[in-house]
Amino acid sequence: MSTNGEQTLDVEAVRKDFPVLQRTVYDRPLVYLDNAATSQKPRCVIDAVSRYYEEINSNVHRGVHRLSMDATSAYEGAREKVQRFLNARSTKEIVWTRGTTESINLVAQSFGRSQIHAGDEIIISHLEHHSNIVPWQLLCEERGASLKVIPMSERGEILLDAYEELLSERTKIVAIGHVSNALGTVNPVEHIIQRAHARGIPVLLDGAQAAPHMKVDVQVLDCDFYTLSGHKMFGPTGIGALYGKEALLERMPPWHGGGDMIKSVSFEGTVFNDLPYKFEAGTPDIAGAVGMGAAVDYLDQVGLDAVSAWEAELLTYGTALLDAMDGVRIFGTAEHKAAVISFEVDGIHPHDLGTVLDREGVAIRAGHHCAQPVMQFYGVPATARASMAFYNTKAELDTLVVAINKAQELFA
Ligand code: C6P
């Protein structure tokens, strides 16, 4: 929605696009504040997936018949949408995956196994999701390389001086979350990339929690790899993408073998397909890709500048509300944050809190958020996390506070 070039967001209007937001839970209006786990889907995404199955379902890149040609063009059209969304130079740089986890594993297995050797180092940060820790640990174990971790501050920010000290001629890749799922910290990725590139080191950004909330331009960032999860950006589950600079992807070997990733196969040897197909073995999640394309169109139409501006307002409003409550402690107070509030309430285990809130219709996540090192840093097993999307309202945050008050009364 655009007026005079400035994007504004009509929250009540966009809420109508999401069927699930109209439902009740235990006879109360659903207040969905678990968007970092997965976002809700607008009608246009649901329709795109249904239409695919109702009208053109067939396999891609294989058929000479009409349905297969239509499915192929819908599937490849969706790839073009993701390319434009990220401002990648070419569709060769967009590899379909099952999501961020698979995208990072692809890079660890393909780039890592071919270019990381004994004695080499990989840099991540203390803020990472397990998906950006474990694939590198597996690789290090296999190759005899080591993992270096940039420490974080009490506020939940990466310590840049320590990063500088970790960079060395042994560093072969830096892999950093763009936005922390556990705390909401927006990391200074431009600086991180610039310092790594000064030494010729490639940088992977885990964009799972950034792409749904802010404009991402991979050419401006100049990152070497960027990962997306469709389900966190209003698309279906089971689909995502890896962006990689063409020159890097060209040099990387395939990681999965099978149909579609080959040009020719004989028992003497196989000639691999061109980019991006070299990394896409087997029948893909065609409907998922089509749905993700529809989600990208939808986000474009709502406007990511408007999304970011509204979510910043929600974050300020929600933080002030929780800060003012007795017995509530917020984890992660970085200067730059996405709309995530991780917190604990005195005397109430986050899981108990989550259960009480659920009965009030409020969905949050309680747990370690697949970021156990962050929990260890703060010395807690878990936190409660309210994570917002552009369809959330200030009134919903008021409801969250009322529900927390109820829990406090119950556990007093
Ligand atoms: N975080 C959360 O509740 P997948 O599961 O592959 O789509 O995404 C994994 C992932 C990777 N990086 C970050 C920063 C993430 O937040 C996630 C998923 C969810 O926070 C589920 S654990």
The tens digit of pLDDT for each residue in 304-316 reads 999 999 999 999 9
Which pLDDT tens digit goes with each residue over 252-267? Answer: 999 999 999 999 999 9
Identify whether 140 is a catalytic site residue.
Answer: no
Mean pLDDT, range 267-278, rounded to an integer: 97
Amino acid 2: pLDDT: 43
Å from CA of 181 to ligand 1 middle? 7
What's the longest Cα–Cα distance across the chain? 73
Banded pLDDT at 63 (limits 50, 70, 90): confident
229 lines ligand 1 (CB under 6 A): yes
On whether the CB atoms of residues 58 and 65 are closer than 8 A, the answer is yes
Banded pLDDT at 3 (limits 50, 70, 90): very low
On whether the CB atoms of residues 237 and 97 are closer than 8 A, the answer is no
* 46-300 CATH: 3.40.640.10
Q: Which atom of ligand 1 is nearest to the CA of 37?
A: 3
Å from CA of 37 to ligand 1 middle? 7
360 lines ligand 1 (CB under 6 A): no
Mean pLDDT, range 166-175, rounded to an integer: 98
Assess whether the region 2-42+303-410 and the region 46-300 belong to the same CATH fold.
no
CA distance 261 to 258: 6
Class of domain 2-42+303-410: alpha beta
With a pLDDT cut of 70, the percent of the chain lying above it is 99
Residue 161 has pLDDT above 90, yes or no: yes
CA distance 301 to 256: 36
Q: Which helix (H) or strand (E) segment is 68 a member of?
A: helix 66-86
Beta bridge partners of 244: 225
CA distance 178 to 303: 20
CA nearest 403: which of 25, 12, 16? Answer: 25
Return the domain boundaries, the chain.
Answer: 2-42+303-410, 46-300
Mean pLDDT, range 157-167, rounded to an integer: 98
Residue 6 has pLDDT above 80, yes or no: no
Question: Model's pTM, two decimal places?
Answer: 0.98
Banded pLDDT at 4 (limits 50, 70, 90): very low
The answer for residues whose C-beta is within 8 angstroms of residue 131's C-beta and 6 or more apart is: 100, 101, 104, 206, 208, 370
Amino acid code (one letter) for 392: N
On whether the CB atoms of residues 256 and 284 are closer than 8 A, the answer is no
Q: How many beta carbons lie within 10 A of that of residue 258, not counting itself?
A: 11
Amino acid 62: pLDDT: 81
Joined tokens for residue 248: 């890097």
Å from CA of 297 to ligand 1 middle? 22
Amino acid code (one letter) for 119: G
83 lines ligand 1 (CB under 6 A): no
The answer for residues whose C-beta is within 8 angstroms of residue 184's C-beta and 6 or more apart is: 156, 315, 332, 334, 337, 338, 339, 340, 341, 342, 387
Mean pLDDT, range 313-341, rounded to an integer: 98
370 lines ligand 1 (CB under 6 A): yes
